[in-house]
Chains A and B, each alone.
Chain A
Amino acid sequence: MLLENSPADTSNYLILGFTILAIISGGYCIYLFNRFSKLKQQVSVIEKSNSIHNKDT
């Protein structure tokens, strides 16, 4: 047996693991969501300026 502590102590590692997994997956989802909102905004800005530009020409 490799553990020096009694089995109950490893729950700390479990909590650490869950936290980090949540951060990685949650962080990625948040990143995707931010990217989506920013892109939507940029596209609407460009499309608006394009339609104005086209009206001028």
Chain B
Amino acid sequence: MYNNNQYTKTSQYWRAVRTIIWKDLSIEMRKKTLVSALLIFSVMVTLVFTFALDLDKVTKDNVAVGVLWVTFVFSSTLGMNQTFANEKNQNSLEGMLLSPIDYTAIFVGKFISTYIFVIIVEIIVVPMFYILYGIQLFSPLFLLIVLLGSFGYTLVGTLLASIATRTQAREIMLPILLLPVAMPIIIASVQCSNAILSGAHWGEFSNAFNLVIVYDIIFIGVAIMTFDYLIQE
């Protein structure tokens, strides 16, 4: 009847992850609140910067990448607050903790669904920037660094959101916890994107690029090791 493979630990793990992702995505597809909020917010931020920094072409090119990352950072933070806030509001977190799954599966599921929302925002924002700022953003290396940088940022954000959601002032606690931890990857991503877009050769931005990758790997490890402990408190 049931072959043994159906209940191996690995398949159970990934099934739990898929369930969580599917849950978050289907809630979102029905209500459409989160993605629309993120999109409106990022469009607003972009337009405000466009008006505020109505500058000559050269200066505009210089600030464009910074503004792009600011937009990503602000929108992602908004998205990450929602991730665990919904769980808290519905008390579904206890339900998840009581079910017989590996707790890190909760983290991976939450992270992937948040990252999907972040990518959707990026898909809209990057072409918008191309139109408004006129810089060639469709170089594959640039898109790679956007994905890797937001990967790391979403990673630490999801991890810290699980702590922040337990406090009383949870919307303000996440940015407070997140900013110092995320500073290295934001700085490295911005420097790297700037260098890539201004056509620098590999040697000039290899340090920043390596930092992003190392950061991502380190925090995958940190998240997996600590999430069990954090979520049980």
The reply to whether A and B meet directly (CB within 8 Å) is no
B-side residues, CB < 8 A to A, are: none
